[in-house]
A = this chain, B = another copy of it.
């Protein structure tokens, strides 16, 4: 609570110098060790305007290798950022393994500015919980996260504003936002108390720092960071694995068993229905554009289930300026040094657009689980992470469709054989497909778990019988159209 803080806290110049000499050395070494241990660190700096964030930050960063940190200034969202889920811009700025991301203002700005009416974007009531889920995912991944609030009194702030305004070089620093904060100091303080009271956690703690004296604040923050880094480094990898994989109770009932693989449609109905549905989806795409509804469609399914052909039928009449198809393969480059979902945050659609995924974030629970590319605690954690990811998209207005195109093992074999025999289809079949086929049972069980744990009322799985491709195509088209139409009806 802000009222508990002793704003008179002060440090003499000599004590400050002495303390910083040691801290500079410690932080320099710790940065290298964190790099060696590949631990990412996230430091969020909030505080009153003119509390001295810039000055303190500058001093703390001096001993560090500047190639190893990035400072992000979080302003109000731009018009373009408003077209994406709220938290996307923070996800995209997360530090890669071994580096430090410093946020001058942070995701909390959404709430804090909202409390004093500075931010015109509405603040959803569940935003604090969502932010907690966001932080949890990052700390589970191994990030060190520290959050500071630099505190000064209302009178102190008024004094500082006055001084800045008197200096022509700095007078621009006191603007509309600053004045609003001074005027509504109490409301802002109440929101800070609320956030700290409810948004504090052991893995992502809040620290309120008295900042009347910048030397005191500097030493306090540098000390806190150094200690947090030391703690993180001292933990053995085995201790870190405290986050356990949830016990997956593979039910004796596998939802795939219930899929009626004989589902089919006759040629005439197909030829009639297909263009009709395609035109319907095109009209709905326009409606989505007008209502600024983003649409996310994830395709999963067995090799040779017909995902590619299905997507082609789905997009056939769509305006190509409004959709994108992401083919998902193994992560590469920076993607490997970031939390698993980071790369999917990069690909979420803009409001009014469609993003279609040919394989998706569910790879974590399928290929990465079965092939052992992810550890059990990694993929075990992913059930909840993926649910949180999709909830984020939906809370910010998206329609999320998830398709599992199901075929029988016999049908797969027949299709593999045909691909092998047919010259212009040969490129479609690889040794890996045959190897995956041998693990049919493991994939079957993993899929069952995945569906049981990630099918939610707002992001349900649609299991599509795929032995007859035409039936699968109509079903996908129909499902997307129905889901979109329902959301549009709600908006009207």
Report A's interface with B, CB cutoff 8 A.
29, 32, 54, 57-58, 61-62, 65-68, 70-71, 73, 78-80, 102, 104, 169-170, 172, 283, 286, 290, 308, 311-312, 315-321, 323-327, 332-335, 356, 358, 424, 427
Please indicate the chain B residues that have their CB under 8 angstroms from the CB of A315 in the complex: 66
Instruction: Name A334's contact: one of B312, B320, B332 (CB within 8 Å).
Output: B332
In the bound complex, CA of A371 to CA of B71 (Å) = 34
Known interface pairs A58-B317, A78-B79, A79-B79; 11 further A-B residue pairs with C-beta atoms within 8 A, sorted by A's residue number: A32-B427, A62-B312, A66-B323, A66-B325, A66-B356, A67-B325, A67-B327, A70-B324, A80-B80, A102-B320, A332-B332
Cβ–Cβ < 8 Å partners of A80 in chain B: 78, 80
- CB-nearest residue of chain B to A55: B319
Across the A-B interface, give the 3 residue pairs with the lowest CB-CB distance, nearest first: A333-B333, A67-B327, A66-B325
A61 to B427 Cα, complex, angstroms: 21
Cα–Cα, bound, A180→B327 (Å): 39
- By beta carbon, the residue of chain B nearest A331 is B333
Residues of B within 8 A of A332 (CB): 332-334
Task: Given A283-B169, A326-B67, A334-B333, check contact A318 B58 (CB 8 Å).
Answer: yes
What is the CA–CA distance of A170 and B285 in the complex, to the nearest angstrom? 12
Q: How far is the CB of A145 from chain B (nearest CB, A)?
A: 19
User: Is the CB–CB distance between A67 and B358 below 8 Å?
Assistant: yes
Chain B residue with the shortest CB-CB distance to A71: B320
**CA A73 to CA B322, docked complex, whole Å:** 9
Q: A324 CA to B323 CA in the complex, in Å?
A: 34
Contact A321 B104 (CB under 8 A): yes
* Chain B residues with CB under 8 A of A358: 67
From A328, which residue of chain B is reached at the shortest CB distance? Answer: B67
- Chain B residues positioned under 8 Å from A57 (CB to CB): 320-321
Closest B-chain residue to A81, C-beta based? B80
Q: A338 → chain B, closest Cβ, in Å?
A: 11
Enumerate chain B residues within 8 angstroms of A61, measured Cβ to Cβ: 320
Residues of chain B contacted by A169 (CB below 8 angstroms):
283, 286
Q: Closest Cβ of chain B: how far from A291's Cβ, in Å?
A: 12
With A104-B321, A318-B58, A321-B73 given, is the CB distance from A66 to B312 under 8 Å? Answer: yes
